[in-house]
Structure 1
Amino acid sequence: MEDWRRIDIDAFDPEARLRPEDLVPNYGTTITLSELQPKISQLRSLASSGDMSSAIQLATSEPPYSADEQTKHQYFLAVLEALAQTRQTDMAKVVKSLDRAQKDVLVKYIYKGMSLPEGKKQGGILLAWFENLTQDSGVNPIVHYISDRRTV
């Protein structure tokens, strides 16, 4: 008889077998740049007019999860412009105006900005956003970012 203490019991569980395609989130239809262009224009318009609270709320509501990487990058550049144009004194007020889901999206854009060359140029501003976000919400958005498979 085989040593029963060395049997891999997980191998007998039919629900324990995940395929790689099971781990990829299903977004539905893919968003194109032409479909997202009006939102990018509105975001830039709000940011240039000085309405930063509305600009950040628009940027973090319904992010283009199902877009291709080039479209996501173009949207990210518009979001980065809005984040960079916000005065540090207004950041805390803007963060407080966001709901939980929007804060989760904001931390995704902050981390994405820290990983890209365009965002590294604005590193101090992104760190100020990160500080205001963690002071308001603690580590919850960070934990949600780590556990969420959807990317911006």
Structure 2
Amino acid sequence: MSDWRRIDIDAYDPESGRLNREDLIPSYPNQITLQDLQPTISQLRSFANSGDINSAIQLATSDVPYNTDEQTKLQYVYAVLEVLVQVRQADVINIIKGLNSQQQDSLAKFLYKGMSMPEGQKNGGILLSWFEKLTQVAGVTPIVHYLSDRRTV
């Protein structure tokens, strides 16, 4: 520790020119395509159509496709929004309580993404109700994780 003055701190400064934006984005081993994700989207819709909303939310938030292109992410978000809109408001708290903390974080990401899209803004009241109940159950932890996580939906 006596050699702390010899550490090149400029190597860790993102504005020093040594690092570019691509260096800061974590790499993912396999890129998921829309064909890979299509069975999951179909299963989400079948759960929602059969009325098994709890399983649909569990599926949607358990294996989120972070390592894919934006168009594929949008298709997945549309499917999740379809499920979220179909839930009765009386069931929302019980569904959120059934999620683990990582799934609650993913749900917060979907809610933020939905509220930023025109399709989600049409059902903004429903998404805000989900958001309110999520913060009642989990506190502000999912919000902090959303703000600090580089992975987006």
Q: Same fold (TM over 0.5)?
A: yes
Cross-structure match for 1:107 = 108
Cross-structure match for 1:3 = none
- In 2: Cα distance, 1:67 partner to 1:12 partner: 35
- In 2: Cα distance, 1:66 partner to 1:100 partner: 21
What residue identity is the alignment partner of 2:52? D
- In 2: Cα distance, 1:43 partner to 1:64 partner: 14
Paired residues in the alignment total 143
Cross-structure match for 2:29 = 28
Does residue 18 of structure 2 align to residue 17 of structure 1?
A: no
TM superposition score normalised by structure 2: 0.89
Q: Post-superposition shift, 1:22?
A: 2.5
Q: Which runs of 5+ in 2 are unaligned?
A: none
Q: Which runs of 5+ in 1 are unaligned?
A: 1-8
Q: Post-superposition shift, 1:16?
A: 2.1
Q: Post-superposition shift, 1:17?
A: 3.5
Runs (4+) of structure 1 exceeding 4 A deviation are none
Cross-structure match for 1:60 = 61
Aligned Cα RMSD in Å? 1.5
User: Sequence identity of aligned pairs in percent?
Assistant: 60
- In 2: Cα distance, 1:14 partner to 1:128 partner: 45
Cross-structure match for 1:144 = 145
- In 2: Cα distance, 1:110 partner to 1:59 partner: 12
TM superposition score normalised by structure 1: 0.90
Cross-structure match for 1:134 = 135
Greater Rg over alpha carbons, structure: 1
Q: Post-superposition shift, 1:84?
A: 0.3
